[in-house]
Structure 1
């Protein structure tokens, strides 16, 4: 191996080490932020769980029952402890997401052009906002609706029939509400994903319009997979998905119009520069 080849390898290795050091630093900030948020959520795990039970209480009111008699159980000694750990991990990830997303952005931002950074930043802000919108829809509407649907299946005890009461386990209730929050939060990212794809030219509004029928079918299939097996939550997820798909079409059209205006402005500017250069060329001749 020649001396020049060794120098070239050493020069290429230096930026690689800098990137690895930067990556380690960003990972340490992300993991540290998640760990602090996890400890905070675990310390208040019972209070957070009681907060998540409020939609269940609303459902009992809708069903004509006493909300003060809402009861959840756990059947294994360690079940409620691990439920609190699971809740703390979920809450820690939600709280630490802005920090994690910021660290990811700071790591990739130096490799982007200025216009690419300006284009990427709004989506970085919109993503957590849309997730919170989906989570709020779950908390204030769909969780009470789903629990009301399940409460309606209870059976009062009489001489001819046995009493059947809903006593959900703490782990199963948490899994239900976390599944709903994750499903709706994920679906609400659809405008962000399609807008980014339209921005880089991987997707067009016309293609979205042409695939609308398939999108409706896929929305109901995804809703059936991600949500519990009840029609309320499945339809409740499919309909917002279809609405968000229409929002994605509208967003893609806005981006295409913006890109077209930028292209026309650039061509106009280049033409003006060519006209400005011609007198200078003639005078020099």
Structure 2
């Protein structure tokens, strides 16, 4: 029992150290970005400001909102910049307890999921925001003077970033399901009609109530589902017990 207790405590100490390193990395990047917090928020608001009539500015209804909203945005950017190091700390903690074939699959999946999530956010920022905001500005009555609140805008942006980031994770989810034998490629093909319907339902719930943004989420979701099926073909089916034993013995 003493050996088990010591092992458990050593794992807790290592977990604490890894978490502290990850948090410290985010905090250091955040402190370095703090002088440009206002500029970072202006960059985030740029797609909306381009779509609004010239001279229109956003408003802040709270007393401390002009201070805290840019801070939140800067913290989000700091986390994204430090994300590779944060994921490395998580991987360094988990990797010693994995088999060789699990390590071989785990690290590429972590890298791929991170890259895909960031790509989803980038796609949303560079393409979706411009189209959606322009559509809303054109549809709005001319008698209305738009004055978006910065806190509501941040909430909207975070929701959209999360929706598109998670959507771009679909290929990774499909590959994991096939690789661990939870579903076959044939079953995934048979589920296409349900996936398409589900994609439009999710898009209708998550995105604003306009057709443009719903299509721009649902269509990539369907295409990424097909990409996941294609990638799963190349990676192969679930690892057999013989393959697992052979790989682990070799390592």
**Matched residue of 1:44: which SS?**
helix
Following the alignment from structure 2 to structure 1, what is the Cα–Cα distance between the partners of residues 191 and 140?
Answer: 42
**Matched residue of 2:101: which SS?**
helix
Q: Deviation of residue 56 (structure 1)? A: 2.1
CA 1:112–1:128 in structure 2 vs 1: closer, same or farther (change >3 Å)?
same
Following the alignment from structure 1 to structure 2, what is the Cα–Cα distance between the partners of residues 201 and 232?
Answer: 37
Deviations 1:218-277 (A, max 9, x none): 1112112222222211111011000011111112222226969x96xx7xxxxxxxxxxx
Q: What is the aligned partner in structure 1 of residue 169 from structure 2?
A: 189
**Matched residue of 2:26: which SS?**
helix
Aligned with 1:78 (options 64, 77, 95): 64
Q: What is the aligned partner in structure 1 of residue 92 from structure 2?
A: 106
Following the alignment from structure 2 to structure 1, what is the Cα–Cα distance between the partners of residues 211 and 32?
Answer: 36
The answer for unaligned runs of 5 or more in structure 1 is: 1-8, 157-162, 267-285
Q: Deviation of residue 182 (structure 1)? A: 1.4
Q: What is the aligned partner in structure 1 of residue 249 from structure 2?
A: none
Q: What is the aligned partner in structure 2 of residue 216 from structure 1?
A: 196
Which region of structure 1 is more displaced relative to structure 2, 250-259 or 215-224? 250-259
Larger Rg: 1
Following the alignment from structure 1 to structure 2, what is the Cα–Cα distance between the partners of residues 21 and 54?
Answer: 44
Task: Map 1:81-230 to 2 at 5 A.
Answer: 81-156=67-142, 163-230=143-210
**Matched residue of 2:144: which SS?**
coil
Following the alignment from structure 2 to structure 1, what is the Cα–Cα distance between the partners of residues 49 and 66?
Answer: 20
Aligned with 1:239 (options 215, 219, 227): 219
Q: Is residue 83–residue 174 contact of structure 1 (8 Å, CA) maintained in 2?
A: yes
Deviations 1:20-46 (A, max 9, x none): 111111111111112223333443221
Q: Deviation of residue 53 (structure 1)? A: 2.2
Q: Is residue 73–residue 169 contact of structure 1 (8 Å, CA) maintained in 2?
A: yes
The answer for unaligned runs of 5 or more in structure 2 is: 247-251
Runs of 4+ aligned structure 1 residues displaced above 4 Å come to 257-260
Q: What is the aligned partner in structure 2 of residue 27 from structure 1?
A: 19
Which structure has more relative contact order (CA 8 Å, sep 6+)? It is: 2
Q: Is residue 179–residue 237 contact of structure 2 (8 Å, CA) maintained in 1?
A: no
Structure 1 length-normalised TM: 0.79
**Matched residue of 2:181: which SS?**
coil
Following the alignment from structure 1 to structure 2, what is the Cα–Cα distance between the partners of residues 185 and 80?
Answer: 27
Q: What is the aligned partner in structure 2 of residue 11 from structure 1?
A: 3
Following the alignment from structure 1 to structure 2, what is the Cα–Cα distance between the partners of residues 21 and 132?
Answer: 31
Q: Deviation of residue 51 (structure 1)? A: 0.8
Q: Is residue 42–residue 84 contact of structure 1 (8 Å, CA) maintained in 2?
A: no
Alignment length, in residue pairs? Answer: 243
Which region of structure 1 is more displaced relative to structure 2, 181-190 or 33-42? 33-42
RMSD: 2.1
Q: Is residue 198–residue 252 contact of structure 1 (8 Å, CA) maintained in 2?
A: yes
Q: What is the aligned partner in structure 1 of residue 37 from structure 2?
A: 45
